[in-house]
Amino acid sequence: MNIEIGDYPKNAKKAVRFFWRKKREAQKKKQEKGTSDQGQRGGATGGKNLDGFVDLITDIIKKSSSQPLTVCTSTKEITLPGYFRSSKRWDIVVIDQNGRMLAAIELKSLGGPSYGNNANNRCEEAIGNAVDFRTAQREGAFGEGTSSFLGYLILVEDDDKSSAPPKNPTKSPHFDNDPIFEGASYQKRMAILCDRLVQEELYDAAIAIAAKDDGGKSGTFKDLSEASSLKKFLLKVAAHIATETEVDDSRENST
């Protein structure tokens, strides 16, 4: 079994630099057009800002496989059937040479200046997408006998608003909130989200990282969860691909 993630810190920094440069470019285009960019939405939706991470993960997937794979990243190739809805576009979809689906991975970001609603939206998306995927898989949407890896990565902007506890956190008037969220910043909340997504077996690996917006100069980032890290996330992806392709090889050799 070949598990290889290469010089991932160097490649991850490159991906972070790409993210901030693309975000700045998108914001600049919005300003040049003279359109309003409420909440800096242009930087979040203009183009595929996380393509650097797509390249990083894709490279690791290909190097981990002992057989040819189809790693889908283009818009026309990344749509998968759902259960509660017709279909869903992922960021990376991996199919083996026998047509088995091996992995689906979602990449997201969370930035300022408005974090409250955006953070809740990210939570709802991540949970809903996983439930839809897992149910579709159970019902045979991806073929029989598939063992699909489901991954989630979110990059959080590291600034004063995301690193400090919210000034007026929303609380239930009827019941006590989970104590784990008491005084938790939005960075911490995303870490809790990812830890619990894996704990509840919605995702095989989920990771939150944070990076400061320096215009794409340093590429510095940090892991937000003590239970997981970008390295562990990449190792889990690589191990799954290596295991599944190795099993396939052994089946072919036995026939």
Please report the pLDDT score of residue 45 as a whole number: 38
- pLDDT, mean of residues 70-96: 96
Please report the pLDDT score of residue 43 as a whole number: 40
Q: Output phi, psi for 119, to 5 deg.
A: -65, -45
Please report the pLDDT score of residue 32 as a whole number: 82
Sign of CA dihedral 189, 223, 102, 49: positive
State what percent of residues in the chain have pLDDT above 70. 91
Q: Cα separation of 245 and 103, whole Å?
A: 12
**pLDDT level of residue 35 (50, 70, 90 thresholds):** low
**Is the backbone of residue 54 left (phi > 0), alpha (psi -120 to 50) or beta?**
alpha
- pLDDT, mean of residues 190-215: 97
Say yes or no to pLDDT of 41 above 70. Answer: no
- Tallying the residues shown for the chain, one arrives at 255
Please report the pLDDT score of residue 227 as a whole number: 87
Number of C-beta neighbours around residue 70 at 10 A: 13
Domain ranges of the chain: 8-167+177-254
pLDDT tens figures, 107-135: 999 998 889 889 999 999 999 999 999 99
Q: Where are the beta strands (DSSP E) in the chain?
A: 69-72, 79-81, 87-89, 92-96, 101-110, 149-157, 205-211, 222-223
Q: Output phi, psi for 182, to 5 deg.
A: -65, 120
Q: Dihedral of the CA atoms 139, 142, 143, 145 (nearest 10)?
A: -80
- pLDDT, mean of residues 199-207: 97
Please report the pLDDT score of residue 112 as a whole number: 83
Question: Mean of the per-residue pLDDT values for the chain?
Answer: 90
Q: Output phi, psi for 125, to 5 deg.
A: -60, -50
The structure's pTM equals 0.90
**pLDDT level of residue 44 (50, 70, 90 thresholds):** very low
- pLDDT, mean of residues 27-53: 67
Say yes or no to pLDDT of 97 above 60. Answer: yes
- pLDDT, mean of residues 224-251: 86
pLDDT tens figures, 217-235: 999 999 999 888 999 999 9
